[in-house]
Amino acid sequence: MCAASWLGVEVIGDQEVMIDAPSQLPEHLVEASADRRLVLHAMHSVVDWLAFAVWEDGRLVRSLSLSPDSGITENIGEPLPFELPYWAGDRPADIIPWPGEEEEPYALPFHPLDLDEDALRAFCGFIQEGRPEPDDVDADAIELYRPTRARSRRAGSGAAQSCGGYGSVALLPTEP
């Protein structure tokens, strides 16, 4: 588990929130977001899986979970602005087959990890892979902590790397 807290923003990174149906996030976490925005973001690059959800004042407004193997396992609410180019077909999956293999069509109309980068930028202001934009947050400068029973210890800088592979839940101020 990783955690961080700043004025108006709390972040929890834990594999326990990496769930196939983000809308099923445990109720105690949703209840903790009263009067705020709650964002769940989870991904697993080995299987090209992405899941995210957004609650406003405890009300689910968007949830999406998809991978090429499982397809779209959850799609609740209207797509968010950063998703629109993907659903419109403007960001098709660019898959290069392994040498000697025939090219098969990708199982989804876009690559989930491309959408993942845009989701991270929209929700958190940074990306994990690819070319950062000038206004992106420097994720390497964000310190996270790994709580232990006896005391908290610093996980190091780099929000994008310190909890790598873990799902994240962020409780944000009500203003987007």
Phi-psi region of 141 (alpha: psi -120 to 50; beta: other; left: phi over 0): alpha
| % of residues, the chain, pLDDT over 70 | 76
Q: Which tens digits make up the pLDDT trace of 86-140?
A: 999 999 998 777 777 777 788 999 999 999 999 989 988 887 777 888 888 877 7
Give residue 11's pLDDT: 73
Is there a contact between 154 and 145 (Cβ–Cβ < 8 Å)?
Answer: yes
Sheet with 143-147, edge to edge strand ranges: 71-76, 59-67, 49-56, 37-44, 168-172, 9-13, 2-6, 143-147, 152-157
How far is residue 6's CA from residue 26's CA, in Å, rounded to a whole number? 23
Q: How far lies 132's CA from each of 87, 95, 127, 128, 151, in Å?
A: 23, 22, 7, 9, 35
Long-range pairs, 54-62, Cβ under 8 A, ≥24: 54/80, 54/123, 55/30, 56/174, 57/33, 57/174, 58/30, 58/31, 58/33, 58/34, 60/23
Is there a contact between 33 and 57 (Cβ–Cβ < 8 Å)?
Answer: yes
How far is residue 140's CA from residue 160's CA, in Å, rounded to a whole number? 7
Picking from 136, 141, 137, 168, the residue whose alpha carbon sits closest to that of residue 157 is 141
How far is residue 135's CA from residue 146's CA, in Å, rounded to a whole number? 28
pTM of the model: 0.78
150 confidence band (pLDDT: 50, 70, 90): very low
Residue 154 CA to its chain's centroid (Å):
22
Q: Which tens digits make up the pLDDT trace of 7-57?
A: 677 777 777 778 899 999 989 889 888 888 899 989 888 899 999 999 999
